[in-house]
Amino acid sequence: MGQETLSRRKFLKIGGGVAAGSFWFSARAALSPSALPVLHKPVGEIPIICPYCAVGCSAIGAVQEGKVVNIEGNPNGPINQGALCPKGTSMRGFLQSPFRNTKVLYRAPGAKDWEERDWEFALDRIARLVKDTRDRHWIAKDDDGFTVNRTEAIAGLGCATLHSEVAYALTKFFRALGCMYLEHQARICHSTTVPALGNSFGRGAMTNHSIDFKNADVVLIQGGNPAENHPLAFRWIVEAKERGAKIIVVDPTFNRSASVADLYVPIRTGTDIAFLGGLIKYILDNGLYDEYYVREYTNASFLVHPDFRTATDLDGVFSGFVPLEDNPFYRGAYDRSTWSYQLDENGMVRRDPTLEDPQTVFQLLKRQYSRYDLDTVAAVTGAPKEKILAAYELYASTGRPDRAGVITYAMGATQHTYGAQHIRGYAIVQLLLGNIGIPGGGVNAMRGHSNIQGTTDMAFLYHDLPGYLGIPTREYPTLEDWLRTRTPRAVLPGAVNWWQHYPRYFISLLRAWWPEVHPEEAYSYLPKLGPHKGGIPAKDSDYTHHAIFYGALKGAVKGLFTFGQNPAVSGGDSKAIWRGLESLEWLVVLDPMETETAAFWKRPGFDPAQNRTEVFLLPSAVWAEKEGSMTNTGRWVQWSSKLVDPPGQARDEIWFLTELLRRLRQLYREEGGAFPEPLLRLSWWDYSPKVTEEIAKEINGKDLRTGRQLSSFTELRDDGTTACGNWLYTGCFTEEGNMMARRDPRDTHPLGLGLYHNWGFAWPLNRRILYNRASVDLQGNPRNPGKWLVRWNPEAGRWEGDVPDGAAPPGTLPFIMFPEGVGRLFAAQMVDGPFPEHYEPPESPVTNRLNGQGTSPIAKLWRVEGVTSWGGPEEFPIVLTTKRLVEHFHTGMMTRNVPWLFELQPDPFVEISPELARELGIRNGQWVRLESARGATYARALVTPRMRPLVLGDRVAHQVNLVIHWGYQGKLPEALQGRVANANILTSSSHDPNTFMPGTKAALVRLAPAEIGG
């Protein structure tokens, strides 16, 4: 056949135009991979991945004379098929932004301006500061006499747009330094996803992937707006609709996703658990659950401790609640001893297959949600009763093997003081309906940074090690002690109990980091987690994002590194964050832009002469100026190539870490100091053009006896003969080469389900849909033969289709990570309850109609005199929530500083209902002042029926929706020059107790017109 002729319409589809709505066209309407023309451009085609949201869109770049001259969507990319959203189309504008900092800048204590310096000065000075701070504040033993070998004086932040290889190197470096304060953006955006999904199914990641939306029959979008924030993933939801699927949107705003939906349900922000509790009750009361799935693949039949009581029994708390009257941050905690399963004499779980025993999980679930009737749900959420019922009827229709329902969400679900329980609610619904492990099903977290999944996997987080191995705690002084407590025993016949292999993964990690050291000694090199020394800033073991800044405020944290993260804007209760920054002795910022964090001392109204913080702003390379992998929201690991060298003095993070480590080692060899062995004996890489590949190979793992790259984590051993940086990524860089760089655009499933096994790599073991053996019965036969995902071939003695989740023959249970082998309707591992319970946000316009607790009784609320503040509905009567825009990215540094994108959306705005605007005398387009108990900011009023008053029983509540992408640095509209336009000035220091996620999606404010010009 001859070369296909491209019409203008087809060209726009594969090129990704940005005309209004162009990124919403049907995925099916795009050219199929087999029909895609070969577009060999004379200027070249270098494969890269978009650096913005986590959909993982593939692009191609062209370079001439050392300059990027073109970036466009890759027509072969299975996810985006050549299309890009406005941000993706503007990648070159970010790369070549006139606002990029390309010089090493230094701010001396008390100085009012930057001064230009060179890298030698900066690196020598930073090395000296790090060593002196570490040595002065080294903690060999904590207040209780435990050996912990750590420092609480140095902290590291970010970054979720760095490649996974950089994140791994950062984790390795800072753990060898002895740091406990390690955090990145995941803490404040999707941290609540991980325990919710992990304790429900076994892994804390998106169960399916973006393309799989097309296989759904019903799509429930609750707590997210993918049409706006993940538009190339939303195309696959549109594809599902064109195939006959129905879309439900539950959201405070009639957003872009709602405009395409079949049913929109308005809801008050923070009341999702009430809505989901009602859905669970509706499913149970009407027998709409998948009975086979519930009996065989969940813990519904398990018997729970006879003394366990639900929140229905105890007015909003579960059995074991202990008030903490003398603790300023927590109202209470739980003794979870009654949340256990009943075991027989052999240590196996006792079950009632009839599901009739009152202590079965099934009956306890019914009792827990017996209060969540339609009238109560409507009064709590503000949603019309008839719309609630319509949503319940439609979504519950997927509780049959021949139908599939998917739930997708983002920050609207996660950023609450009970965010993890929001997502647990999704998990319970999906387990009841049999929607986990099937095509078109799942609980699909839509992550918002290009590599936030990868950086989470690599554990730049205080509580973890790569591969979710967990950081050892002080109670376990020896490697043997730690391995014993982390290695579970199966409690149900047929359970695969995959974490029984934990010693293989942990010892292989130690061998990767300290290959010349015996694992027992290497274990002593890891800092041990425990309560803060001296109880500063709190008498707990919280080393998360906000604790860094309260620790600085209280004098414990002396120095901070930030790598591409901008907490001065992104953190809840921004004024508290600023106070923490002001209290640091030194701050090192690696970033391509002069962020609000780097320039906290330039803040309007702040006198820099009064501040003694020493600040370094180091110009960093951006994603296209280095190579590396990015893991998208669906766990696809894709390699992004280098296009050009970084400009000016800009350098990449691996170079920086290598140079800093070299200087630190020299200082410790010459001067000695506190516990230098972890740094001196740490394995590191020679910096070269291929250094990122060398790091990727270490992450993958190898056999130390032969040097062979491993192809599966089943090859890892606990005898010290294998080394592996992250067991989940074994198979990503094998003897065959870089599997992450594969670019075969052909679907590998015979039914065209969209698995694409030869495009990149997916952890674990290139599996595209997790828990996929839950789609078959215990004999290995698909429960929906017309849309089978995996199936057992008895003649060949193997599984067909997707890579099976656990390669054991039929008869073993599908949730392989758990010692019980089944999904958890009842999850005792959650610190705030085995079932979700509705609580009001810390600032709420109403009392709690479902229980007498009001807010979550064990949420963490920072209360620091002179720093934190809390408001009530009398003074601040309006409910605030926040949103993102398709034209912008988080704190705005990567988009407001791109002239093309700033022109599209120059002003921050707040969506206000016409009724509220009339009441307050606010005109459309007028600047308004929003104020909470913590501070005030400005935005233009967008008066729109997309917002509507909500009837909450006997009263009416108003809520507004404010965009988040503005601060006081970079490109700003004229009216905001010299002002602070930061949404998080309004939000509070309130936190989910499972992960310390800040509750930034709900606060109370008041509004008034503002005459500020422009």
CA distance 82 to 987: 38
CA distance 62 to 560: 37
Residues 128 and 254 in one domain: no
pLDDT at 38: 58
22 confidence band (pLDDT: 50, 70, 90)? very low
Residues 497 and 547 in one domain: yes
Distance between first and last Cα of the chain: 59
Question: Which residue is listed with tokens 């062209």?
Answer: 62
501 residue type, one letter: H
Share of residues in the chain with pLDDT > 90 (%)? 94
Domain assignment present for residue 320? The answer is no
pLDDT at 549: 97
Q: Give the C-alpha distances (Å, rounded to integers) separating 3 from 36, 77, 984.
A: 10, 20, 54
Average pLDDT over residues 194-215: 98
pLDDT at 42: 75
CA distance 274 to 436: 22
Question: Which residue is listed with tokens 């391995």?
Answer: 483
CA distance 8 to 699: 44
Average pLDDT over residues 401-408: 98
E-only strand ranges, 160-209: 179-183
Residues 907 and 992 in one domain: yes
Domain assignment present for residue 56? The answer is no
pLDDT at 5: 40
Neighbours of 735 (CB within 10 A): 10
Residues 471 and 568 in one domain: yes
Nearest CA among 863, 887, 880, 878 for reference residue 919:
878
Q: Does position 39 have pLDDT exceeding 90, yes or no?
A: no
State the burial class of residue 309 (Cβ atoms within 10 Å of its Cβ: 0-12, 13-18, 19+): middle
Neighbours of 288 (CB within 10 A): 19
Q: Does position 165 have pLDDT exceeding 70, yes or no?
A: yes
Residues 667 and 693 in one domain: yes
DSSP assignments along 62-126, one per residue: EEETTEEEEEEE-TT-TTTTT---HHHHTHHHHHT-TT---SEEEE-TT-SS-EEE-HHHHHHHH
Question: Last residue of some domain: 660, 681, 703?
Answer: 703
E-only strand ranges, 202-304: 218-222, 246-251, 263-266
3-class state of residue 646 by DSSP: coil
pLDDT at 1011: 86
Residues 182 and 197 in one domain: no
The whole domain housing 411 covers 192-292+374-446
Residues 521 and 669 in one domain: yes
Domain assignment present for residue 756? The answer is no
Q: Does position 423 have pLDDT exceeding 80, yes or no?
A: yes
Neighbours of 839 (CB within 10 A): 29
Average pLDDT over residues 765-771: 98
Domain assignment present for residue 576? The answer is yes
Question: Which residue is listed with tokens 């501070």?
Answer: 935
**What is the CATH number for 938?**
2.40.40.20
pLDDT at 9: 34
pLDDT at 485: 97
Residues 540 and 664 in one domain: yes
pLDDT at 167: 98
DSSP assignments along 368-416, one per residue: HTTT--HHHHHHHH---HHHHHHHHHHHHTT-STT--EEEEE-HHHHSS
Q: Does position 18 have pLDDT exceeding 60, yes or no?
A: no
Residues 243 and 286 in one domain: yes
CA distance 550 to 792: 55
* Mean pLDDT of the residues in the chain: 95
CA distance 546 to 868: 12
pLDDT at 21: 35
Q: Does position 29 have pLDDT exceeding 90, yes or no?
A: no
pLDDT tens, residue by residue, 611-642: 999 999 999 999 999 999 999 999 999 999 99
16 confidence band (pLDDT: 50, 70, 90)? very low
Residues in the chain: 1014
Q: Does position 410 have pLDDT exceeding 70, yes or no?
A: yes
Domain assignment present for residue 936? The answer is yes
Average pLDDT over residues 734-754: 97
Question: Last residue of some domain: 446, 466, 495?
Answer: 446
Angle between helix 545-553 and 574-583 (nearest 10): 50
329 confidence band (pLDDT: 50, 70, 90)? very high
Angle between helix 419-433 and 272-285 (nearest 10): 20
Residues 439 and 510 in one domain: no
pLDDT at 1: 34
Element (H, E) at 133: helix 119-136
Q: Residue 982: what are its φ and ψ, rounded to 5°? A: -125, 120
158 confidence band (pLDDT: 50, 70, 90)? confident
**What is the CATH number for 231?**
3.40.228.10
pLDDT at 887: 96
CA distance 361 to 195: 20
Q: Does position 142 have pLDDT exceeding 50, yes or no?
A: yes
Span of 10-24, 334-348, 651-665 with lowest mean pLDDT: 10-24
pLDDT tens, residue by residue, 984-1001: 999 999 999 999 999 999
Residues 261 and 180 in one domain: no
Provide the CA 705 distance to its chain's centre, in angstroms.
Answer: 37
pLDDT at 44: 79
With contact defined as beta carbons under 8 Å apart, do 630 and 657 qualify?
no
CA distance 939 to 978: 14
23 confidence band (pLDDT: 50, 70, 90)? very low
pLDDT tens, residue by residue, 433-477: 999 999 999 999 999 999 999 999 999 999 999 999 999 999 999
Beta strands 936-943 and 955-957, pairing class? unpaired
**What is the CATH number for 664?**
3.40.50.740
Domain assignment present for residue 729? The answer is no
* Alpha helices (H) in 180-230, listed in sequence order: 186-189, 193-201, 226-229
CA distance 846 to 923: 28
3-class state of residue 264 by DSSP: strand
Angle between helix 502-513 and 479-486 (nearest 10): 140
How many separate domains does the chain show?
3
3-class state of residue 937 by DSSP: strand
With contact defined as beta carbons under 8 Å apart, do 558 and 133 qualify?
yes
pLDDT tens, residue by residue, 562-591: 999 999 999 999 999 999 999 999 999 999
pLDDT at 342: 98
With contact defined as beta carbons under 8 Å apart, do 979 and 967 qualify?
no
Residues 505 and 433 in one domain: no
CA distance 294 to 442: 15
Domain assignment present for residue 572? The answer is yes
Average pLDDT over residues 51-59: 97
Question: Last residue of some domain: 398, 416, 446?
Answer: 446
Nearest CA among 512, 518, 486 for reference residue 501:
486
Domain assignment present for residue 345? The answer is no
